[in-house]
Amino acid sequence: MLSYYKTIDGHITPIPSCEPGCWINCVAPDDAEVNSLISDFNIEPDFFRAAMDEEESSHIDREDSSTLIIIDIPVIEKSGKNITYSTMPVGIIITEKNVITVSTKENPVISEFSEDVVKDVQTNMKTRFILHIMLRVATRYLQYLKQIDKISSFIEKELRKSMKNSELIQLLDIEKSLVYFSSSLKANEITIEKIMRGRVVKLYEEDQDLIEDVLIEVKQAIEMSSIYLNIFSGTMDAFASIISNNLNIVMKALASITLMISIPTVISGMYGMNVNGMPVANFWFPVSLSVICMVISYFILRKKKMF
């Protein structure tokens, strides 16, 4: 699907067709739409294939008069009650007079621009428009990282009450999300640093402060994801040790109970043999002896902290 937007009176407004200085948003475009854009703007076909590849990492590519910038953006995936975080690539193609964004599905970052949530954005100022997109991507990473921190704190409190597999699986999902975030942010950082050199994308003096803000936000997100990942690794190791320790406690208690129960079994087995000459061959004697031996064994095991 192709949508056209242009800044009119300070607001990003949908327009019916393509104009110079407009922004073209492509969400899961079909072959006919892709071929139309390739022919109209003389774009390299590999640009679209790379932008729609879900495994593509962040990078910059330039061919003739067109430039492709791929950045990884964070997304939320919901599966029942569980929430997981992952990343997806978004392609930004810079032509002579327009900016084209290409993605395989709707995403919150691009939607903020199409819904005119982000203010003071000029679609005809291509470099500044791209930097605004990158700044919103970095801000979204920071927002999701704060959400992950709150979710992990809640799960840890639940785990302290009861060791359940569901909470452990949620922690594993969050740890995996942090790995995705960390790798994607580092790739985005390299891409932004290439843009800062001004060799691939033309930078203007008024863009320097903005791209520095973008780089600062990305570095902060990288630092946060690294810290959270280290905390998660320590937390998972701690809970693994706690679970193992709890299992050892249970096994010790079961072994002690088994030992105590075996005492009356041995005594009753001896008195149940079809032989003569057993001492005090009376029903109450083996019962009393079993009880006394069990009580003695209980105190011995209790003293050795087997209970």
The Cα–Cα gap between 7 and 81 comes to: 39
In this structure, the number of other CB atoms found within 10 A of the CB of residue 284 comes to 8
pLDDT tens across 136-178, in order? 899 999 999 888 888 888 877 777 766 666 777 777 788 888 8
- Sketch out the chain's domains with CATH numbers: 2-244 (3.30.460.20), 245-303 (no CATH)
Written as six digits, the tokens of 227 are 């810290």
Q: What is the largest CA-CA distance in the chain?
A: 113
90-99 pLDDT, tens digit each: 888 888 888 8
pLDDT at 162: 65
Q: How far apart are CA 101 and CA 94, in angstroms?
A: 9
- Per-residue HEC secondary structure of the chain comes to CEEEEEEECCEEEEECCCCCCCEEEEECCCHHHHHHHHHHHCCCHHHHHHHCCCCCCCEEEEECCEEEEEEEEEEEEEECCEEEEEEEEEEEEECCCCEEEEECCCCHHHHHHHCCCCCCCCCCCHHHHHHHHHHHHHHHHHHHHHHHHHHHHHHHHHHHHCCCHHHHHHHHHHHHHHHHHHHHHHHHHHHHHHHHCCCCCCCCHHHHHHHHHHHHHHHHHHHHHHHHHHHHHHHHHHHHHHHHHHHHHHHHHHHHHHHHHHHHHHHHHHHCCCCCCCCCCCCHHHHHHHHHHHHHHHHHHHHCCCC
Give the β-pairing of 66-79 and 2-8. Answer: unpaired
Q: In the prediction, which pLDDT does 281 show?
A: 67
Q: Which residues is 25 bridged to in the sheet? A: 3, 101
The residue type of 134 is M
Tokens encoding 295: 């009580």
* 101 contacts 91 by C-beta, under 8 angstroms: yes
Q: What is the pLDDT of residues 263-284, one digit of tens each?
A: 888 887 777 776 666 676 676 7
pLDDT above 70 covers what percent of the chain? 94
Q: Residue 274: its pLDDT value, please?
A: 60
The closest alpha carbon to 57, from 70, 76, 75, belongs to 70
Q: What is the pTM of this model?
A: 0.77
Q: How many CB atoms lie within 10 A of CB 262?
A: 12
Within the chain, which residues score under 50 in pLDDT? none
pLDDT at 115: 83
What pLDDT is attached to residue 80? 66
